[in-house]
Amino acid sequence: MYIRNTLALLASLSLAILTTAAPAPLAVNATLDNELVLATTEVDRIALITDPTNFVFDFAHAEVKQEAGGRIVASNTKNFPALIGHGIAMAVGFIEPCGINLPHIHNRATEILFVVSGEFETGFFIENGGKV
């Protein structure tokens, strides 16, 4: 169920990339952030987000972080309220030929990577001497 919901959310967000609408205003404040984190159920969490635009993240009009070899557009709990309480964030990366996604960590988190076009080599390290 969790995986299906996550994949549905990813698919919905992918469609947002194609939109040309102006970015939606975020109607989130510190009090609402806390209420979303403390919500007991997903139904309670969704009921707290009264502005439907907070369920859409427009990757086409979001802040872009440009680096040598590519760029990334990221959603997180600060700019996409629907993620609050789920322990996830999402990003769309554009890696140019011979570009590299620098080694980085996600403490106790998982990264799912989809390659849309081209080839990509990847690797990972396991903590505490775990089998690789």
Distance CA 76, CA 98 (A): 27
pLDDT in tens, 60-115: 888 899 988 899 998 888 888 888 888 888 888 888 988 888 877 777 777 777 88
pTM: 0.56
**18-42 mean pLDDT:** 68
* CA of residue 103 relative to chain centroid, distance: 18
Which 3-state string (H, E, C) describes 102-122?
CCCCCCCCCCCCCCCCCCCCC
- In the chain, domain spans: 2-102
